[in-house]
Amino acid sequence: MTRVFNFSAGPAILPEPVLRQAAEEMLDWHGTGMSVMEMSHRGKEFISIHAEAEAGLRELLDIPGSYKVLFMQGGAIGENAIVPMNLIGRTGKADYVVTGDWSKKSMKEARTYGTVSLAASGEASGLTAIPKQAEWKLDPGAAYVHICSNETIGGVQFHWTPDTGDVPLVADMSSDILSRRIDVSRYGLIYAGAQKNMGPSGVTVVIVRDDLLGHALPITPSAFNYKLQAEADSMYNTPPTYAIYIAGLVFKHVKAMGGMDAMEAHNVAKAKVLYDYLDQSSFYSNPVAREDRSLMNVPFKLKDEALDEAFLKGAQARGMLQLKGHRSVGGMRASIYNAMPIEGVQALVAYMKDFEAEHG
């Protein structure tokens, strides 16, 4: 069996030990004679899987006891609506910071449910830099302030936690959760689709402070009401059971790798290999401000776009896939999430050097 280096932005690479364990347990989970896919979400077997997954995430992120952990469905795009439905009713208004395409989508969706203000925008830089907090115009009467901690398309990442005073900070962390240590207590709510660093698509993790429960708008569907889901231990409706199981295996794997500090060091080292090469090359370029560069998603362009297809074909021949940039920006994008080994980034840079030597 040959495994490729998968640079997909998501669904993305998963740790091989996790995939192997899931394969071994596919037909018979722990002597039950059935697959996790076949288990009742009300049965003791799955309840134990769910509890272990939650405990694993709480330990990794050091989540305070005053926060609920919910395993939901709908992805981050679903949360773009679910968050305001649950939170904006506190005051009727919210602030959004736009640093890329995903935060822009979040703000657009939220406007359906209340008064939404643009607190800050990276548009002036072409969405290649995060606006300094001194430039933000925050409303102290807002129900929350929303950011996207890592923009998957543009490759812009927060390397600092905004200070929003008494207004809860909400963050879409879909593409960088579990990649580094964070202080959960600085946030009112964190949400993240699993398919970058936590598991397969299908489950969305929501970490929400207790005092933010119970403010849902009357139009909020019951299945998307955080308070109801918290009271039902994420089982108000049938949860994405298999995706939760895989996420639990990933949490165990990350712990075995050394936890958040080790994972952050791993990710910093990988990103440095790629950015160092890009910075010394005149053949490739990365547009993002250095202090805001993502450790997870590295966009880059070739000097001559006419060579893009040849570059992608050559990469595929060397076992490196999914390097094509998002259709809205073009170029290339290497997504180097937790499960990408440093050898994958080293192989990419070696190929980029060869391609530059041949076509530069």
Which residue numbers are catalytic?
Answer: 102, 172, 196
The pair of structure tokens assigned to 78 is 């679903």
Residue owning tokens 């490196």 = 320
What are the Cα distances from residue 321, in Å, to 12, 135, 316? 11, 39, 5
With a CB cutoff of 8 Å and minimum separation 6, the contacts of 19 are none
In whole angstroms, what is the distance from residue 69 CA to residue 235 CA? 12
Per-residue tokens: 220: 């909020």
Structure tokens at 270: 């990988």
d(CA 346, CA 258): 22
Interatomic CA distance for residues 4 and 165, integer angstroms:
46
Helices (H) and strands (E) in the chain, counts: 9, 14
AA letter at 219: I
Please tell me the distance from the alpha carbon of residue 159 to that of residue 132, in angstroms, as a whole number. Answer: 12
Pairing of strands 297-302, 93-98: unpaired
Residue 292 phi/psi, 5° resolution? -115, 10
DSSP assignment of 53-119 equals HHHHHHHHHT--TTEEEEEESSHHHHHHHHHHHHHGGGTSEEEEEE-SHHHHHHHHHHTTTSEEEEE
